[in-house]
Amino acid sequence: MSAQANGWSHFAHEADIGLAASGPSLGDVFERVATAMTGAITDPELVRTNEKVTVHCEAPDIELLLVEWLNALVFEMATRGMLFGRFEVRIDGCRLVGTAWGEKISRERHHPAVEVKGATYTGLSVHRRGGSWVARCVVDV
């Protein structure tokens, strides 16, 4: 399945990488933006999902919550030396419990292209369009 068919894509940014996603619920969109972030590093389908990590985030609004979620994953990837291929997010107001499944980075199998340094607030948006949710975020690589 293509990235677009899975509800996420990358948009062009001169220096870095733009992540975009849409979905029926806010939780779906957060999961798909996270997959798009893995897609900036490697093909998410190459990542085995045999280790589970849970993170808790909160923020004053839903856009900052998206950045918190992505940055929590950046931290877990960096300190555990892992990549994540599957996500599950439960959102309650401006709080979130997220679960990520993945494995240790294998340079031979994943050929990681870049390291995500952090998620930025530039062009950041989370909003409803028609019956679905859409989100955009630029990550610094």
Partner 1 sequence: MELSRLEKVSPFEWRIAPHGEMRVPAVLYGDEQLIRDMDDKVYEQVTNVATLPGIVTASYAMPDAHWGYGFPIGGVAAFDPEAGGVVSAGGVGFDISCGVRTMVTGLKREDVEPVKEELADTLFAAIPAGLGSTGEISLSDAEMTAMLAGGARWAVDRGFGAPADLDRIEESGCMPGAMPDCVSDRARQRQRREMGTLGSGNHYLEIQEIVRIHDGDAARAFGLAVGELVVGIHCGSRGLGHQIGTEFLRDMAIEDARLGLKLPDRELACSPIDSDLGRRYLGAMRAAINCAFANRQIIGHLVRQALCAVLPRTEATLLFDVSHNTCKVEEHTINGKARQLFVHRKGATRAFGPGHASLPGALRPIGQPVFVGGSMGTASWILAGTATSERRAFSSACHGAGRRMSRHQARKNWRGDDVVRDLAHRGTLIRSPSMRGVAEEAPAAYKDVTAVIEATHEAGLARKIAELRPLICIKG
Contact positions vs partner 1 (CB under 8 A): 10, 12-17, 40-42, 59-60, 64, 67-68, 71, 74-75, 78-79, 81, 105-107, 110-115, 117-124, 138, 140-141
Nearer to partner 1, 10 or 88 (CB): 10
Question: Residue 36's CB: how many other CB atoms inside 10 A?
Answer: 27
What DSSP string runs through 83-129? EEEEEEEEEETTEEEEEEEEEE--HHHH-------EE--TT-EEEEE
CB of 59 to partner 1, least distance (A): 8
Nearer to partner 1, 28 or 140 (CB): 140
Nearer to partner 1, 60 or 130 (CB): 60
What is the Cα Rg of the chain in Å? 14
CB of 87 to partner 1, least distance (A): 19
Coil/strand/helix, residue 137: strand
CA 32 to chain centroid: 6
CB of 99 to partner 1, least distance (A): 20
